[in-house]
Amino acid sequence: MAEIGIGIVGGGYMGKAHSAAFASVGTIFETRLKPRLTAICGSRPESGARYAQAYGFARGAADWTDLVDDPNVEAVVIASPQDTHREIAEAALALGKPVMCEKPMGLNVDDARAMVAAAEKAGVANQVAYNYIRTPASQYARKLIADGALGRITHFRGEHTEDFHSDPDMPGWRYQGEANGCLGDLAPHAINAALALMGPIAELNAVMETAYPTRGGVKVTNDDQVQMMVRFANGVSGHIAASRIATGRKMGYAYEVSGTDGAIRFDQEDQNALWLYHGDAPPEQRGFRKILTGPAHPDYLPFCKGPGHGTGYQDQIIIEAHDFLKAIDTGEAIWPSFQAGLEVQQVVAAVRASHASRSWQTVSEF
């Protein structure tokens, strides 16, 4: 049984989540490749030392260069701000180290494209940490669609809505910079879901809105919400929306897919359930029925043998860790790779262009 030294850049919210995931994934999934918590760093040397002690790493690195250059760090997880992703990924990949990067990839499509090129040149495992699509329910939804259980798909509706910035007087750093707005922060999850369930987006028409132009007397330079009409490469039309000011919504990652023979709908606030409609049911039995996830659904059994007992947010991150280790161990590409992350960023770029020009945009042009 082989071990692999894990280094994590960033020890905050997501850094802690990834630390916990790699500490437990070998037990949950009984992976052949066992992670060893080798090094972690923060924005300052003292932060790295504190994170190492709290999360069980062998040492706290002085900074990300110290961590990436450490020969005992054999794979790198990037959980730092977006403006650091490209430089760290390129440095790690140049040393032949597999990289998992938090979403979204870099500040823009140029960063994402450069990271894809670096990964292809290195020829090692690479992965973007889109966790919500990994719930057993959403994995099963992907299977239902791929298996044709809904017939010919006719429409898609997806959203990622939360209310963490619904208070206009709430201070915060997210109000400055394009990448920190709703389109840069929340919308990529909804876009990723759309691509996973429906395939590539061919064209779109989008509008962005800053509902609160100033907050605490300071000018806001990014968007509070975005919505887009989309047409997928398979010809199906749909709608995607995201908002950070959706009062009452705490984890509104949701979608509905309609087909000629049935439909599904999902809401992350009830992440252990998928609602399924069968069009061939007798009239007196028609309606959505609730499917509770259990051992028969993807990646559920390693956590629990009891149907309906459910998985949680941290479990999604553990599934990510498992996928990453499997890709390193087997050499097989795992989704979502850096290429999949680039595809999300291409859609984001098309949205910005559509909003600016008030016109339809072809995603492949970005």
For residue 321, being part of any structural domain is answered with no
Average pLDDT over residues 82-92: 97
Do 187 and 241 fall into the same domain?
yes
Residue 323 lies in a domain: no
pLDDT at 1 over 80: no
Lowest-confidence pick of 160-174, 233-247, 319-333: 160-174
C-alpha triplet 15, 18, 21: angle, nearest 5°: 150
Q: CA 312 → CA 95, 158, 189, 270, 271, distances in Å?
A: 35, 21, 17, 10, 8
In this prediction, residue 192 carries a pLDDT of: 98
pLDDT band of 355, cuts 50, 70, 90: very high
* Residue 173 belongs to domain with CATH number: 3.30.360.10
pLDDT of residue 120: 97
Residue 65 banded pLDDT, cuts 50, 70, 90: very high
Distance between CA atoms of residues 251 and 39, nearest Å: 31
What confidence score (pLDDT) does residue 244 get? 98
Domain assignment present for residue 166? The answer is yes
Question: What's the whole-number mean pLDDT along residues 178-195?
Answer: 96
State residue 170's pLDDT score.
86
Rounded to an integer, the average pLDDT of 205-234 is: 96
The tally of domains found in the chain comes to: 2
106 and 174 share a domain? no
| For residues 18-36, average pLDDT | 97
HSE, CB side, 13 Å, CA atoms: give it for residue 247: 4
Average of pLDDT values for 325-335? 94
Q: Do 83 and 340 contact (CB within 8 A), yes or no?
A: no
Q: Supply the CATH number for residue 128's domain.
A: 3.40.50.720
Residue 322 lies in a domain: no
pLDDT reported for residue 172: 84
From the list 301, 321, 310, 327, the residue with the least C-alpha distance to 21 is 321
User: What's the pLDDT score for residue 335?
Assistant: 94
The answer to whether residues 119 and 154 belong to one domain is no
Q: What's the pLDDT at 279?
A: 87
- Average of pLDDT values for 76-85? 96
- The answer on 99 and 14 residing in a single domain is yes
Tell me, yes or no, whether 82 and 95 share the same domain.
yes
SS3 assignment, position 79 = coil
Do 276 and 200 lie in a common domain? yes
Does one domain contain both 33 and 182? no
Q: Answer whether residue 198 is part of any domain.
A: yes
228, 145: one domain: yes
Candidates 253, 249, 243; CA nearest to 197 is 253
Domain stop point among 132, 159, 194: 132
**Domain residue limits at 140:** 136-270+272-309+344-357
pLDDT of 173 > 90? The answer is no
Helix (H), strand (E) at residue 155: strand 153-161
- Is the pLDDT at 209 greater than 80? The verdict is yes
Mean pLDDT, to the nearest integer, of 237-257? 98
